[in-house]
Amino acid sequence: MSPTIPHISKELAQMRRHYDVVVVGSGYGGGISASRMSRAGKRVALLEKGKNFVTNIDIGKSGGLESTRRKRWSASRRFKYPRLQHIMAKKPACTIFTKAKTSTLSLRMGKLSDSIFVKKFVTLGGTSLLNANVALRADERVWQQNIWPEEINQDMESIRRGKSEFKINLCRVISRHVFIKLQWPTFYTTAYGRAEEMLQPNPYPEDFPTPPKLAVLEEQAKLLGDAYHKNFYRPPIAVTFEDRVNNAGVMQYKSTLTGNDSTGVNDGSKNSTLMNYIPDAWNHGCEIFCEIEVKRVKYDEKNKKWIIFYEWLGAGRPAFKDDAECCFFVTADVLFLAAGTMGTNEILLRSKNFGLPVSNRLGEGFSGNGDILGFGYNINPLVNGVAMGNHSPRWFKQPVGPTITGIIDMRNQENVLNGYVIEEGVIPAAMGGLMNTILNGTRIVSPYQSPSRTVTESLRHTGRGLLTSLLGCYTGAVAHTQTYLIMSHDDNQGELTLVNDNLKVSLRDAGKTDRIRNLNNILARATDSIGGTFVPSPLWTVLDKEGLITVHPIGGCNMAKSGDDGVVNHKGQVYKDHDTSVHDSLYVCDGAIIPTALGVNPFFTISALAERVCELAAKDRGWKIDYSLAKKPIDFEHPLRSYDDLRELQVPLEGGVRFTETMKGFFSTEITSEDYASAEAQAKSSDSRMAFLLTIIAYDTRTHADMKANSSEITGTVSCRALSADPILVTSGHFRLFAPDESRADADNLVYKLYLLSTDGSEYTFEAFKRIDNEQPSLGWSQTTTLYVTVKDKNKVRGRGILHLTPRDFMVELSTLTVSQTLRIGFNCFHTNRSSINYIFASPHNHAFFKPIGKTFGQRLAARIEFVTKFSWNMSRHYLTWLLPLQFPADFAAAKPFSLPRPEPETWTVTASDGVQTLLTRYKGGLKGPVLLIPGAAVTHEIWATTMTKHNFLDYLLKNEYDVFLQDNRISPNVPASHDQSSMDDLILDHVAHIEKVREVTRCDKIAVVAHCVGSMSFFMGLLNGSIQGVGSVVASNVGMHPILGTVNRVKASIGLTTLWEKVFRKDSFDTNTSRNDTFLNRLTNLFLRFYPVPHGEACRNAVCKRISFTFGLLWQHGNLNEQFHEHLNKIVGHCNVSALKHITLVARRKVLVDANGDSVYVTDENIKKHLNLPILFIHGEQNVCIDPEATKKSYNVLRELNGEENYKRRTFPGYGHLDCWFGSDAHKEIFPTALKQLEETKKQYGYTRRID
């Protein structure tokens, strides 16, 4: 049969910032609180530490959690869940017997000398999935003890509004034993009655097959005497024995009698909260979140709300143990703590340590409810007391039955504290294989020895022991073993404390009391009477009669008259101190509030108290709870009440990945500039730290790693004392892997954008990136583990910093990498045909979810390989560029020019004195200037005017109202004459013609000139020989009179590559542009240029860029170019004739300007003194490997020596190379202002103020 409860929890990313009510825990107290508050019309969130399994679950083979196909007497289908693992502590300290925080079954113990072991269940539904659900009320005399607040026995009006149906039902159940007459106060009838309506307990039916263990218990009661036999009956248990829709509207099927409910039955018959209160809460709008461990709570006095700090246990986050305090948080107006006795005490103890006012009695008065475990080993009658687990019921002649079906109720003692009950139990299937060894070993050292037997009886007992050893626990001695469970009274002297942030349980001498010894003696008599050996709890025996196991921990937040006596008042509200003042919106409503052992199974009483707490909480606030029972089955696709989802999560595709990452570093609020290194240094000096723990979901590895539409989801927390004293919540976020960095050539970024919320309501935007560029491979680790962080507050930069990923954390991160699997299969959960198909539910209210598994091992492995392969490929593009294919202009998308407003251009064809025609373009931005911009070799005027960058020098001057003229000389690819042979001597003629044309058009006596590289050298040649007149101010870019090359260019010049190209290959020009279909010679050249030497971090795959570097040397720092400019270099740089290249090589060898014949006709002292006595600014990029910065330095020093210092300046710019001085991404911030300042300061030397009359 299909499971009847689907996957109803939500993803963490869908949690809202604030709720009317938050409920912590999903056991009896939590389930009831969530249901009742939701029925009051409140917006409720239920937070559960465990996972949301489908329907119920049980412990199968070897402790693995398994789910069976719902078909009576049929084999089961297996689901894999974490296995139970018991790890004994080497030292006496608080120990949790569990593999992981979300492991389903766990034991918790105190010091070995304290000897109390607590069994608990961690999953949606809590302990209600674990216990035997015996629905008995506490003896009236227990309630009359003065340990309770007076209000409990004086409940006023609500007492008289109670129902009595349960009382009548109970009388019918125990009519065979009318001597039990318990009179209940009306209040308890009310609270118990409401719990009964939802839990629907009933005794094991008389018309069902009698389980052997039940028959054995009844026989033992007879043999113990009339006092025991008359108190034997079948108690009401919260188990369904008929197919029905229950009072919550959930379909249930009758019990398969497998005994698996000892650890969470999976057949839909057990009336746990997962089958009633929890789906009822969901149906009324409650939002359920699993794998949420609440750590502490805090009250925000300013906003009058509770802040609940929690750790998310999903996505491998618990693996980051050192970051456990990177808590998430959610806020609520009203908070109900129902995390179980252990969990609630731990939360409040930790909260108290963090400053929450709570009574000093917190943690005191802990009780194990007088629980005793024992075994009647190898008795004569068949017991069949091992749960069937994963085996088909058809293998068994008789049913095991529910965990508990019978009781010897001995509570009618003169002293209520001497009362107790004896119940039979079931050995979990996971433990069955070990029980023969455990019980045999314990029997040897037990103080209770086997009764005297005849030889025949001894042989029979020995044979049964051997049979179990050979054939397993369903035969022989273990099949003849009765499990005893006693609930009694203890002294309530246990204490719960936090030691090293772990809960420690102390209950000294728990097993050494006379009461324990007496009750064990009764069990020994019962066992002896049917020919068995009594074996006390193995822990009690091994630990010198101290070790006890309890499945009913209660107390620690005891209900009391005041804070002097306990922790909560009669309403469940937490006392602030020793008096009666309380946190009026903080409630505890689970077993932690019970101040005394009950002498009976406590779940029904816990449920009744929780019902009362909810009723009074609602009454105090004027809320009305709808107590009406479900009139129709729940439609799990259309709840009665729902709220719009906070966000619609994208459905993860097959192969999507999820991983968790932590990074730590320093964050400064003092330095807000983009100097991250300085910000980090400042933060280190003040120890201002930042850390985050993020879970990143990539919905599809194909888009995620292919850089197409690869936005992902981020959830997590940020810790930064400079921003908040508490952890900061990531409310939403996005992550992009290998997003192209549009501001830098050949660079990708791992981009993080988080939206943050602090506990005081402040909101921030967290923007960060890891930059991956073409540095040497040795820097790969540094780049992928260094995050540059900016935090903004309403678009204002609040601070910057740098975070790092350590190798250890990286290895843990890899272990959290999981593969998504989406199952979107709808079903009608109320059809009655017993289908054998299992479904996992995903509806508009329950989004597809990540599972840390794939359908098969092969799929999981393939998805991981795919992701790692794509990640490695993207990394190799940066570190192994010389091995990868070259890229050509046709490979790139069309450029997207920036829209820059300009005046209409004017263009002239200018004819030089030798008849060569060139181009001159004017943009009149104002009456400053005029300024003539002269480019270098093989480039167009676009180096000044390109729209492929957001900022260029032309528009910068136009913005400052300059009249700008752009030159395309005879070696510019824009001019037809560029295909003819020419030298730098010939360029002088172009400069003369252009300057005269500018003077003519503007009628200015002198103009300003900004000249770059070869344009600058040829311009200086014209100045020096007196050809150029009418210039009043000069900005010389990267070279002047002394061209001193970088190392690689010097080597190329010395071996005469230009001559080789001309003479051997008979070429009269070299074109930097190329394509895949170029000539064989060019394709061969391209092949060799893969290995052209460039500085570290400057390698790329762009064929045009490599040919430019081969011709002129590396002209830029790639980090200064944006991506599209680098991709479309062919639009700016082109061919250059051999004669010009030879002249350039010649002056480079001579390290001074000479003519094409090698004669020193330009740079003489006389020419310098006569023609260069005007304002000149030299600018140079410090990382220029084309022309060494020493070149302008030498020219600058020569000018100062010959003409004095007044007219000459020189500035170098770190981080810049050669041409990137004029189109680098940040040139407008650093270089343009320097050039403008020169023009402004020298404006009296040229321009419209000196016009020709």
pLDDT band per the 50, 70, 90 thresholds, residue 57: very low
Mean pLDDT throughout 490-500? 90
Residue with tokens 């509200």, as numbered in its chain: 573
Query: In degrees to the nearest 10, what's the CA dihedral of 252, 257, 261, 266?
Result: -50
Mean pLDDT throughout 820-839? 32
67 and 53 in contact (C-beta within 8 Å)?
Answer: yes
Using alpha carbons, list the distances in angstroms from residue 1228 to 119, 898, 950, 1224, 1231: 69, 15, 10, 8, 6
* SS3 of residue 539 by DSSP: helix
Of 244 and 51, the one with more pLDDT: 244
Structure tokens at 909: 């064809």
- Per DSSP, the residues of 311-332 read EE--TTGGG-GGGTT--EEEEE
pLDDT at 785: 84
For residue 687, is pLDDT > 90? yes
* SS3 of residue 75 by DSSP: coil
Mean pLDDT throughout 677-706? 80
Residue from 295, 368, 346 nearest 502 by CA: 346
Of 878 and 639, the one with more pLDDT: 639
For residue 539, is pLDDT > 70? no
As a whole number, the mean pLDDT across the chain is 83
Would you mind telling me the total number of residues written for the chain in this entry? 1253
Query: For the chain, which residues make up each domain, given as ranges?
Result: 646-879, 906-1044+1161-1250, 1046-1140
Structure tokens at 277: 């209160």
Residue with tokens 């609500």, as numbered in its chain: 158
d(CA 102, CA 318): 10
For residue 991, is pLDDT > 70? yes
Structure tokens at 454: 């005849």
Using alpha carbons, list the distances in angstroms from residue 18 to 15, 306, 626, 796: 9, 9, 23, 26
d(CA 918, CA 936): 14
pLDDT band per the 50, 70, 90 thresholds, residue 106: very low
pLDDT at 834: 28
Using alpha carbons, list the distances in angstroms from residue 757 to 22, 46, 1101: 19, 21, 43
Residue 1015: enclosing H or E segment and its boundaries?
A: helix 1014-1024
Mean pLDDT throughout 478-498? 93
Quickly list H helices, 419-548.
Answer: 429-445, 455-471, 476-479, 514-528, 538-542
Structure tokens at 374: 């024992």
Q: For 147-197, write each residue's pLDDT tens digit.
A: 999 998 776 344 334 343 333 333 333 333 333 333 444 443 478 889 999
Residue with tokens 């019902």, as numbered in its chain: 611
Mean pLDDT throughout 1000-1014? 96
d(CA 1206, CA 1211): 15
Q: For 584-639, write each residue's pLDDT tens digit.
A: 999 999 999 999 999 999 999 999 999 999 999 999 999 999 999 998 999 998 99
Torsion sign (Cα): 1142, 1148, 1154, 1158: negative
β partners of residue 44: 21
CATH superfamily assigned to domain 906-1044+1161-1250:
Alpha/Beta hydrolase fold, catalytic domain (3.40.50.1820)
C-alpha triplet 875, 877, 882: angle, nearest 5° = 130
* SS3 of residue 924 by DSSP: strand
pLDDT band per the 50, 70, 90 thresholds, residue 316: confident
The region that residue 531 occupies, defined by phi over 0 for left and psi between -120 and 50 for alpha, beta otherwise, is left
pLDDT band per the 50, 70, 90 thresholds, residue 546: low
pLDDT-wise least confident of 107-111, 262-266, 433-437, 470-474: 107-111
For residue 774, is pLDDT > 80? no
Q: For 1082-1115, write each residue's pLDDT tens digit.
A: 999 988 888 888 887 788 889 999 999 999 999 9
Q: What percent of the chain has pLDDT over 70?
A: 80
Structure tokens at 756: 């943050």
pLDDT band per the 50, 70, 90 thresholds, residue 389: confident
For residue 875, is pLDDT > 80? no
pLDDT at 1066: 83
230 and 412 in contact (C-beta within 8 Å)?
Answer: no
For residue 737, is pLDDT > 80? no
pLDDT at 456: 84
β partners of residue 664: 691, 804
d(CA 184, CA 194): 15
d(CA 790, CA 674): 9
Quickly list H helices, 402-428.
Answer: none
For residue 819, is pLDDT > 60? yes
855 and 359 in contact (C-beta within 8 Å)?
Answer: no
Mean pLDDT throughout 990-997? 98
The CA-to-CA distance between both ends of the chain, in Å, stands at: 105
d(CA 1158, CA 1146): 7
Instruction: Give the highest mean pLDDT range of 429-433, 474-478, 671-675, 1037-1041.
Output: 1037-1041
964 and 928 in contact (C-beta within 8 Å)?
Answer: no
pTM check: above 0.85: no
966 and 918 in contact (C-beta within 8 Å)?
Answer: no
Q: In the chain, what's the furthest Cα-to-Cα distance? A: 142
